[in-house]
Amino acid sequence: MNMIRVTKQAVATALAKASKSYAIAGPVKAGAGHEFRCLGQGQVPDLEYTHTRLSPKSLLFPQAEPMFHFKLPETTGEPGDTPPAFLEAESFKEAPLAVVGLRPWDARALDLLKLNFDSPDYTDPFFIKRYNAMVRVGLADIHPDPENFSLAAGSGPFDEASVDILLADAGDAFIGKVITGKGRDFAGAAGFEPGSPDDAKAFAALKAAAEKEADILPACDRINDADTLDLYHADFWEAAAFSCINCGACTFACPTCWCFDIQDEVNQGKGVRLRLWDSCMTDLYSAHASGHNPREKGFQRFRNRFMHKLKYFPDKYGAGIMCVGCGRCITQCPGGIDIREVMAAMNAAAATVQQEVSP
């Protein structure tokens, strides 16, 4: 068995040991809740946390990322006789980053992001370097939030598919499983104790209890087979988007939203081209320079977001929906929009169309 065990008092010591070969990130208290941060020497993640406001995607895809630097040609009035220098961004820390305490569905979200940032045609060097160097020490959720529907979204409170180690809170200790070679290396560096057959049983029991508790709704079985245009033209979209103020909170909180903007910042002749998180909820996101906007109305942007997550993405990649069921958008939406209800509406619309065409 690949079981491991670490008592709660020993977590700090284990991470201190691991920090000799790994940079460590994890959930820490920030404001009223928790956020993922890279941890300083001696800083310990708060593994009693329930959820973080933002997802750990920023560890691979920071909210602002310098892509390269440049120097502007001297403004002498003469045409510059030297081209502007495009200089590589400083390379970030090469030490592998161990994220300790991320939830299994948040880990899955990182794998979904990879589908976008590592395509057959182009690889995003910033994302992929961090992705490859990251070790994911997952923390199972023994009491999922009522808004969490990760099990229905292809992950779950004990999903092992996207983590290197999966820990679970067993009272006075974390017990867990080493899943990959990367995980074994980290467990060795941290000096985790081997777990017992009893630990394996306890782990299985915790998993069974959490998955029983987890909300398995909503059904979206019909969306896959439905025609894209039937769903797009379904008549519920405007009503479903009625309370949406296009604030974009969902897109920033979402662990799978990857859209970005590119902007230049210049100070005294030196500049940097930055990649910044963007939101498909704003009208500027898709507005042409001419003023024409293919998604001019708020409900059109609302529709595009959900169609992307629940139809375009599954059709394009065959990797399930672009949602891991974390529930952040449900708890943070000021308009009270619930993606599960949108899924249900899409599923129902798909059912109606299918009924209409069948004799």
Partner 1 sequence: MNPYKPFNVKIRDILTETEDKSLKTFTFEFASPEDEAAFDFTCGQFGMLSIPGVGEIPIGIASSPTEKPVVKFTVFKTGRVTTHLHNMKPGDFMGIRGPMGNGFPMGRMEKKNLLIIGGGFAFTTLRSLVEMILQPQNRDRFGTVDVIYGARTPGMLLYRDELEAWEKRSDINVHITVDGTDDPDWAYHTGFVPMVTESCAPKADGNTMAIVCGPPVMIKFTRPVLRDLGYGDEEILMSLENRMKCGIGMCGRCNIGQELVCGDGPVFTLAQLNRTPGEF
Q: Which of residues 36, 313, 330, 333 is near partner 1 by CB under 8 A? A: 313
C-alpha neighbours within 13 Å on the C-beta side of residue 22: 28
Tell me which stretch binds partner 1 (CB under 8 A): 67-75, 92-100, 324-332, 336-344.
67-75
Q: How many positions of this chain bind partner 1 (CB under 8 A)?
A: 56
Binding of partner 1 at residue 92 (CB under 8 A)?
A: no
Tell me which stretch binds partner 1 (CB under 8 A): 193-201, 207-215, 235-243, 312-320.
312-320
Count the neighbouring beta carbons within 10 Å of the beta carbon of residue 229.
9
211's tokens: 């998955």
Q: Which residue has the tokens 């409900």?
A: 299
Residue 279 parent element (H or E): none
311's tokens: 């139809």
Tell me which stretch binds partner 1 (CB under 8 A): 170-178, 212-220, 306-314, 327-335.
306-314
Q: Which is nearer to partner 1, 72 or 217 (CB)?
A: 72
38's tokens: 């890279």
Residue 79, Cα to own-chain centre: how many angstroms? Answer: 46
Binding of partner 1 at residue 63 (CB under 8 A)?
A: no
Tell me which stretch binds partner 1 (CB under 8 A): 93-101, 141-149, 218-226, 313-321.
313-321
- Spatial CB neighbours of 12, under 8 Å, sequence gap ≥ 6: 42, 44
Cα dihedral 28, 29, 35, 37 sign = negative
Tell me how far, at minimum, the Cβ of 182 lies from partner 1, in Å: 25
Q: Which of residues 33, 74, 80, 95 is near partner 1 by CB under 8 A? A: 80
Q: Which is nearer to partner 1, 92 or 232 (CB)?
A: 232
Tell me how far, at minimum, the Cβ of 55 lies from partner 1, in Å: 17
Q: Which of residues 9, 41, 76, 82 is near partner 1 by CB under 8 A? A: 82
d(CA 349, CA 343): 10
Tell me which stretch binds partner 1 (CB under 8 A): 49-57, 73-81, 132-140, 323-331.
73-81
d(CA 130, CA 89): 15
Where do runs of H (alpha helix) occur along the chain? 11-18, 104-117, 125-133, 181-190, 197-213, 228-232, 237-240, 249-253, 298-307, 313-317, 328-332, 339-357
150's tokens: 């990760």
Binding of partner 1 at residue 115 (CB under 8 A)?
A: no
Binding of partner 1 at residue 72 (CB under 8 A)?
A: yes
Binding of partner 1 at residue 62 (CB under 8 A)?
A: no
d(CA 12, CA 17): 9
Nearest 5°: the CA angle 168, 171, 175 is 35
Q: Which is nearer to partner 1, 142 or 236 (CB)?
A: 236
Q: Which is nearer to partner 1, 32 or 229 (CB)?
A: 229
Site track 250-279 with partner 1 (rule: CB under 8 A), x = hit:
--------xxxxxxx-x----x-x-x--x-
Which residues, 285 to 304, sit near partner 1 by CB under 8 A? 285-290, 292, 294-295, 300, 304
Single out the residue of 134, 179, 189, 130 nearest to residue 159, CA to CA.
Answer: 179
Q: Which is nearer to partner 1, 82 or 358 (CB)?
A: 82
Residue numbers at the binding site for partner 1 (CB under 8 A): 67-68, 70, 72-73, 79-84, 86, 88-89, 116-117, 119, 121-125, 228-229, 232, 258-264, 266, 271, 273, 275, 278, 280, 285-290, 292, 294-295, 300, 304, 307-308, 311-313, 315-316
